[in-house]
Chains A and B, each alone.
Chain A
Amino acid sequence: MDAVSTPTVRPKPGGRSGLRLLVRNRLAAFGLVLLAVLLLVALLTPLLPLPDPDATAPADRLLPPGTPGHWLGTDHLGRDLLSRLLWGSRVSIAVGVSATLVAAFFGSLIGLVAGYAGGRVDNLLMRSIDLVMAFPYILLALTIVAVLGPGLLNALYAIAVVNIPFFARNIRGVTLGLARREFVAAARLSGARPATLLFGEILPSVWPTIVVTMSTTLGWMILETAGLSFLGLGAQPPQADLGSMLGEGRKLLFTAPHVSIIPGVMIFLLVISVNLLGDGVRDYLDPRLKAGALTAPVAATAVQRDRPADRADGSEGPDPLLSVAGLQTEFHQGDRIHRAVGGVDLVLHPGERLGLVGESGSGKSVTALSLLRLVPTPPGIIVGGEIRFAGRDTLGLSARELRQLRGGRVSYIFQDPLSTLHPLFPVGDQLVEALHTHQDLSSGKARQRAVELLEKVQIPGAQQRMRAYPHELSGGMRQRVCIAMALANRPDLVVADEPTTALDVTVQAQILELLRSLAAEQNSAVLFITHDFGVVSELCDRVAVMYAGRIVEQGPTEEVLSAPAHPYTAKLIECVPVLGESDRKVEAIPGLPPAVDELPAGCHFADRCPFAEDQCRRGELALENIGRDRAARCRKPLWSEA
């Protein structure tokens, strides 16, 4: 067997960028270089002018390293250590790699079949695997070798068998998740047979896991080969192998330490290089880690305002609760700059309910998160504008001041309560914590207040539900808990980001009514983010429509919906079927919104607008007043007071 078959991992999709990513990870790159050197030397060994590794020369026994002709010295039989080391490494690598491949093949096969078939087959296969795992692995390997007889090939089998469970379990877990995915069902409906489904549809998605498991086990395998050889069960004399060299040197540890230290160092280098590279490969292939789980976002979004905020002057009337001027939030990913929010102006008065409407990618959620600097950095950066909440610029606040605002005077409600509530604490404890963070309450008082809050959001049996964990509640109940939490500290502003999108209509109706009445009772202003004009009509006094990072129209809800000024608003309204108006024809908007990393000049909607002219595609468009309390970012608004 030759060492050519080493699985030096080349990440498949976009190989070059993958390699670059790997190289950027310094330790992994070090591992890669080290391993490459070792492999190259092992490959070239037959071509090097080395003495025969097995030729004994009793006269030259135990020469120290540095002797001319024997650079690493000789062993107790006078064999050249350098030659034995290189030939031995070849054997160790070949056995380690082959054992990995064998274990990966059978282990993955078992895992795939068990995960796909499920039920009895799964039970049978996995319990057998458990049986194998119940033995201490070295004992099992010893038993196998004892039965088959010592020898390199038998050691290889033993190591492979011992490692099959590791693969089988890993792969089964991944397969189990994939086999129930919709694309597998879709392929079945396309006429695929079970074998095609398993190897044609599921296997490609399991590959990365197999590769990662292989790269992390290879080091072990080399160590285990050395271990068995060390015990005299692997390579048989006179054949050299790192483990047997170590075993032979053990007796001479004090008289001629170099005989055992040299193969020891080699094993160390091999294993460390494989492991470092393996970690790098895992970091690259593991989607969770790639998604940035390794880069912890900082407590508040970074602010790099090089553009001065154009302060909206001369605003008449009472001081607004919240005023946003020229807010710009960008995501910097590699060389790409995504301008998610490209200059948003908003004003919200105490007790007012403003709906922020837009499609996905319009920047409505990023706008909401930017208010208290909750956009994760990296990659998010606020690059311009000003956000004044109750007269203070939140972009200039310290992390401590921001924490006081968050959940205190400003609270958030998100779409998915399951991911905003902590799964391991009872909801009551989480409510009490929210109260304690912002109010000086005794713990009895806080619990009492928490129960009151749960009653307020109409949770039946509030006292008992305090002890319920989030997963024990239905989606509607969980969202009620989130609302209770958001209202716990009587906030001046509630930011609700699609809080009813994941809920059923009847539950949505209740949540909307709850939100409306509670906000009115506490005189909290609401910034309600949604894609649904119906929900906006139900809840909001005013509406702002966002498109490609900017507000394109703003005004009182009824007016905007009955006489939209911006063509986008008008077209969007035509897209929505309305219950009870079954003869209303749904008109689609052709095309897609522009990508926020390549925004066109002029009006972002021009390419899809039926009224666009050349002038629309030039220069900057401002959000201009077109009537009392109404504004549109359009050169040719469909409605204006004039």
Chain B
Amino acid sequence: MTAISTTKLTRIFGGGTTFTGRHRPAVHALLDVSLDVAEGDTLGIVGETGCGKSTLARLLVGLDEPTSGKIRLGGKEVRTRGRWDRRERARQIQYVFQDPGSSLNPRKTLQHALEAPLRRLVGLDAGRRRERLAELMEAVGLRRDFLPRYPHELSGGQAQRVAIARALAAEARYLVLDEPVSALDVSVQAQVLTLLSRLREQLGLTYLFISHDLSVVENVSDKVAVMYFGRVVELGDRRHLFQAPRHPYTELLMRSAPRLGQRHIRAETKPAELPDPTNPPAGCAFANRCPRRLPKCRTHPPALEGGPTGTLAACWNPLPSADAETLSSKPVG
């Protein structure tokens, strides 16, 4: 069953006219994004700054409204009107922020943070809340005596555990994890990743895992979507996508990512910058940087199309799967 599904989701910031009649520049943050995440799966979303991955996350949880397009959660289309709808949605899908330090109110205790969804969304009485708090703290591997503490008394990893517990408190089955380990140290990152995979199995959760770190995404995801300039450029099964990337941007990301114990980076020769978001190019947004560019790439936007491995790529001239071999990295020296 499809847990999270988006159809042609688009978000445009600005636009329209000011009251002196001038046109406001419109920024296309997200353009025609259609994704499906199956129940119990993890969809990894990879992309660099400004690719729209956080905008997508905010749209999914309802912190922002789409300009057009539809979101379906658990098969039902999300309505955004009344408070009741918003509460229903918050009980279905929750959000874990990148920086655990700033997603917790510095002047409120952890108990306050964790009780809020229990009281407001689930509607538990004081006794049940106390039991539930104990369960939640145990689930994320924290001692109960953390409850009366303030966020600044916690390390980054502990704070991120609390943030995860808060997302679980609403009994949401879908979690949008926006760079949940990027702000953490390597050893703590591993702790949180292990916790997330354990919770997914125990509670049957569905994750949308956003990260700029390809190795982390490869580690946690079943399917992966690569985003560039507000669009999904490649979408597919994790294994196929990383072993035989079809879109030149995915390939660029892969050969740019440093790997432990290997010296293999081949960077672009020229510094590249994103196209102007207020004036998006007519064709493929990556065309300017693309080594496999064809004349029609600049004029016609490519659509997501399937290849031999089942991976969808939005590219007029995708990499042949035979290139997969040359990609496998050389050892150091």
Contact = CB atoms under 8 A, between A and B. Distances in A.
A506 B120 contact: no
B155 A191 contact: no
Nearest to B329: A580
Interface string B78-116: 000001000100100011010100111111100001001
B162 to A, nearest CB: 11
Given A575-B190, A579-B218, A589-B187, A186 B260 contact: no
Contact of A582 (B103, B116, B191, B242): B242
Interface residues of A, number: 63
Nearest to B46: A505
A21 interface: no
Given A189-B95, A512-B258, A580-B259, A588 B116 contact: no
Contact of B239 (A506, A510, A582): A582
A639 to B, nearest CB: 15
Contacts of A587: 190, 194
Contact of B261 (A181, A187, A562): A562
Nearest to A186: B103
Nearest to B239: A582
Interface in B235-281: 238-239, 242-243, 252-268, 270-273
Contacts of B255: 509
Contacts of B212: 504-505
B307 to A, nearest CB: 20
Interface in B136-176: 155-157, 163, 166, 169-170
B105 A201 contact: yes
Given A505-B257, A509-B267, A577-B219, A204 B105 contact: yes
A185 B63 contact: yes
Contact of B185 (A181, A188, A359): A359
Contacts of A590: 191
B271 A477 contact: yes
Given A506-B48, A580-B329, A592-B155, A575 B271 contact: no
Contacts of A205: 105-107
A188 B166 CA distance: 12
B332 interface: yes
Nearest to A560: B261
Given A504-B48, A537-B263, A579-B215, A460 B270 contact: yes
A189 B257 CA distance: 34
B116 A181 contact: no
A218 B93 CA distance: 48
B180 interface: no
A582 B104 CA distance: 33
Which residue of B103, B213, B253, B328 has the most chain A CB atoms within 10 A of its CB atom? Answer: B103
Given A183-B105, A575-B186, A577-B215, A191 B242 contact: no
Contacts of B266: 509
Contact of B97 (A186, A458, A480): A186
Contacts of A588: 187-188, 190-191, 193-194
Nearest to B99: A182
Interface stretch (A375-383, A432-440, A526-534): A526-534
Contacts of A533: 186, 260-261
Contacts of A359: 185-188
B105 A508 contact: no
Given A205-B105, A531-B186, A572-B187, A190 B117 contact: yes
B108 A538 contact: no
A573 interface: yes
B49 interface: yes
A589 B184 CA distance: 13
Given A182-B103, A534-B259, A586-B193, A572 B186 contact: yes
B258 A538 contact: yes
Nearest to A360: B185
B333 interface: yes
Interface string A576-606: 1111101010111110100000000000000
A579 B214 contact: yes
A190 B187 contact: no
Contact of A589 (B113, B170, B190, B273): B190
B216 interface: yes
Q: Chain B interface residue count: which class?
A: 35 or more
A189 B332 contact: no
Interface in B28-48: 48
A534 B258 contact: yes
B213 to A, nearest CB: 8
A334 to B, nearest CB: 17
A153 interface: no
B121 interface: yes
A190 B113 CA distance: 8
B205 interface: no
B187 A508 contact: no
A191 B120 contact: yes
Contact of B104 (A183, A506, A531): A183
A358 B99 CA distance: 20
A538 to B, nearest CB: 5
B55 interface: no
A311 interface: no
A80 B216 CA distance: 82
A623 interface: no
Contacts of A582: 218-219, 238-239, 242
Given A191-B87, A505-B253, A531-B186, A573 B238 contact: no
Contact of B186 (A193, A508, A558, A576): A576
Nearest to A540: B263
A24 to B, nearest CB: 23
Given A191-B117, A589-B187, A537 B107 contact: no
A587 B271 CA distance: 36
A506 B267 contact: yes
B254 A474 contact: no
Contacts of A577: 193, 215-216, 218-219
A189 B273 contact: no
Interface centre among B105, B157, B188, B263 (most CB of A within 10 A): B105
Nearest to A12: B107
A561 B260 contact: yes
A468 interface: no
B117 A480 contact: no
Contacts of A201: 105, 108
A386 to B, nearest CB: 30
B63 A537 contact: no
Interface string A173-195: 00000000111011111111100
Given A506-B256, A538-B265, A575-B186, 14 more contacts: A360-B156, A477-B271, A480-B271, A505-B214, A505-B253, A506-B252, A508-B256, A509-B255, A572-B187, A574-B190, A575-B189, A579-B242, A579-B257, A587-B190
27 contacts: A186-B103, A186-B104, A190-B166, A191-B121, A201-B105, A359-B186, A360-B156, A458-B271, A480-B271, A506-B256, A509-B256, A509-B266, A509-B267, A512-B258, A531-B186, A533-B260, A534-B257, A534-B258, A537-B261, A575-B187, A575-B190, A578-B260, A579-B214, A579-B259, A580-B243, A588-B188, A592-B188
Nearest 3 CB-CB pairings of A with B: A534-B258, A191-B120, A509-B256
Interface of A: 181-183, 185-193, 201, 204-205, 359-360, 458-460, 474-477, 480, 504-510, 512-513, 531-535, 537-538, 557-558, 561-562, 571-580, 582, 584, 586-590, 592
